[in-house]
Amino acid sequence: MIEAVIFDLDGVLLESEQVWDEAREELTKELGGRWHDRAQRDMMGMSSLEWSRYMHDDLGIRLPPEEISAEVVGRLGRLYRESLPLLPGARAAVERLADRWPLGLASSSNRPIIELVLDLAGFADRFRVVVSSEEAARGKPAPDVYLEAARRLDAEPSKCAAIEDSENGLLAARAARMRVIAIPNRAFPPRDEALAAADVVLDSLSELTPEIIEPADV
């Protein structure tokens, strides 16, 4: 029996991976770093501590990692206040599932960004628990952020459903032994081996119903 549902944020409720990518790329080029085609995929799922260190070490930005993180977060905050890129069906999906289960959020975004998004979207009171991977020892694909969300929800990980879009997120949720619902990111689709970690693959949030979370025959 499912005890709780845990959402990812970027790519699941928010069409934001491209926004993160553009902010990081712009900053890298402005500061004389070395952006490359693998950078976005490499950083997907990393915690802020991990991706800011990656931008410092691998992309050659000379600012300290904590300043890199703060600059990227500041740029995103300004963009989100101008126009929040909620995915179609996000609000309805959250409401449908919140009426039946306690909800958690397990995101690789920095906590200030998560809280800003939830406030702007009007979701803050629908999520009982919010965990940023900067609060966990390791970012995705490690399971830490999902395990911490389950702990705070007082739920067994094996009795939680995770909603994910990305390769690292799918692997993280599977490693946490959760029921994994994939809504693949169209801009950065997960590879087949990561998609195979999902119990169910959906095309959109409109298909995310209580019956998908907990089928009658489970």
Q: Is 165 a catalytic residue?
A: no
Q: Hey, which bits of the chain come out as E strands?
A: 4-7, 103-107, 129-132, 160-164, 179-182, 200-201
Q: How far apart are the first and last CA of the chain?
A: 8
Nearest to 167 by CA among 189, 134, 147: 189
Q: Is 10 a catalytic residue?
A: yes
Instruction: Report CA dihedral (87, 4, 97, 163) to the nearest 10 degrees.
Output: 30
What's the one-letter identity of residue 119? Answer: D
User: Active-site residue among 8, 21, 144, 165?
Assistant: 8
Q: How far apart are CA 190 and CA 25, in angstroms?
A: 21
Active site residues: 8, 10
